[in-house]
Structure 1
Amino acid sequence: MISDSDDALSWDGDDDASRARPTPVKREKKAVDTAPPVVADRVASPVEDSVGEAPDPDSEEGEESAPLSTAMLLITGVVGGVYLLYSIGWVVGGLRLKPLANFFVADEMFLPWFVLAVAAPALWFLATWVLTRGRASWVRASLLLLGVVLLVPWPFVTVGVIGA
């Protein structure tokens, strides 16, 4: 049996045009009508208004956000992982610091600040993600990297797991 080496790399129907990848459709934003609404001569009942109401073009339901670029996705993932490690570092460092802190403050004062220190990286990440929605990618990346600098778990960095 003689066979062509290219036969092994193709299937029947590979050249079918109906299986080709569709072309992407560009979505254009609709222009918002700035003309004042026309006032009707009669008063409509609330039932008629809710049934015959057209969808609001300003609503965010039909609007899709642009996907993250590869670089921004990579930065977000790496910085999110660093923030997770920071939270673990605050737990370990804070627990190592607790016996020394008991000389200065009561447990009732230490515990809320300890919980806030552990949650601070996650809160920073969430706040940056929500507040920079719709902004340029470099703004989000710079705020995420600023958090990496500001939220360093200093008790863990200075004392470490072993301690002195």
Structure 2
Amino acid sequence: MTEPRDEDALSWAGDDDPTLDASASGDRTTLEPASQEPITRGRATAAVPSAAESAGQVEEPLAPPVEVDVAKPTDRVTDEAAAGEREQMSSVMLVTLGIFGGVFLLYSVGWLISAFRPDAAVPSDAVGRFMFDLGQGLAVAAGPVWMAATLWLTRGGRPVVRIAMLLLGVVLILPWPFLRGV
């Protein structure tokens, strides 16, 4: 009868598999695609059986051996991960963008209130009326459009440029008719 190990509660079934041995030395392995025998050039050893070998048929390898660097990921995987990751904004920048977003929404409300004033001088001809309504609609949409355009156009730039463009928008889009009471 065998003696139970002290660490049996901390192990999984199949831990005794020699291919999972983490104490092997070296750091490069070459795998033969259609071969059961491992080719070792460093620490790790691995064997990849093909579908034909598992069915009992043996065939010639179709591709040259694939060399895998076990110590670091391949360059393609690293490049894809770097392209997928974005640099995160700081908390201060997120709060600042939230404040600017609120200001631009308040500007839209101010333009909307001034657009629906009953004492607005609306032109009487059809073209003039259309142009007046178009101008009022664009004035209402100017704040959110400026915010979105600034965030999109400065997404890869420095935060100082983004803040400067948002400050410029705060000055340019100010709803003067609402503030003057006209």
* TM-score, normalization by structure 1: 0.56
Structure 1 residues 112 and 90, CA gap change in structure 2 (3 angstroms): same
Measured after TM superposition, the shift of residue 102 of structure 1 is 3.2
Matches within 5 A, 1:1-164: 62-96=83-117, 99-102=120-123, 106-159=128-181
Secondary structure of the corresponding residue to residue 96 of structure 1:
coil
Paired with 2:134 and 2:81, the residues of 1 have a C-alpha distance of 37
Q: Which residue identity does 2:136 align to in structure 1?
A: F
Q: In structure 2, list runs of 5 or more residues that go unmatched.
A: 1-75
Structure 1 residues 97 and 75, CA gap change in structure 2 (3 angstroms): farther
Q: Which residue identity does 2:109 align to in structure 1?
A: I
Measured after TM superposition, the shift of residue 122 of structure 1 is 0.9
Q: Which residue identity does 1:144 align to in structure 2?
A: L
Q: Which residue of 2 aligns with 1:15?
A: none
- Conserved? CA contact 1:90–1:117, under 8 Å: yes
Q: Which residue identity does 1:145 align to in structure 2?
A: L
Aligned length: 107
Structure with higher strand content: 2
Paired with 2:163 and 2:153, the residues of 1 have a C-alpha distance of 12
Q: CA RMSD in A?
A: 2.7
- Conserved? CA contact 1:120–1:151, under 8 Å: yes
Secondary structure of the corresponding residue to residue 109 of structure 2:
helix
Identity percentage of aligned residues = 42
- Of the two, which has the highest radius of gyration? 2
Paired with 1:116 and 1:96, the residues of 2 have a C-alpha distance of 16
Measured after TM superposition, the shift of residue 146 of structure 1 is 1.1
Measured after TM superposition, the shift of residue 97 of structure 1 is 6.8
Structure 1 residues 96 and 60, CA gap change in structure 2 (3 angstroms): farther
Structure 1 residues 112 and 62, CA gap change in structure 2 (3 angstroms): same
Secondary structure of the corresponding residue to residue 117 of structure 2:
helix
* TM-score, normalization by structure 2: 0.51
Measured after TM superposition, the shift of residue 59 of structure 1 is 6.7
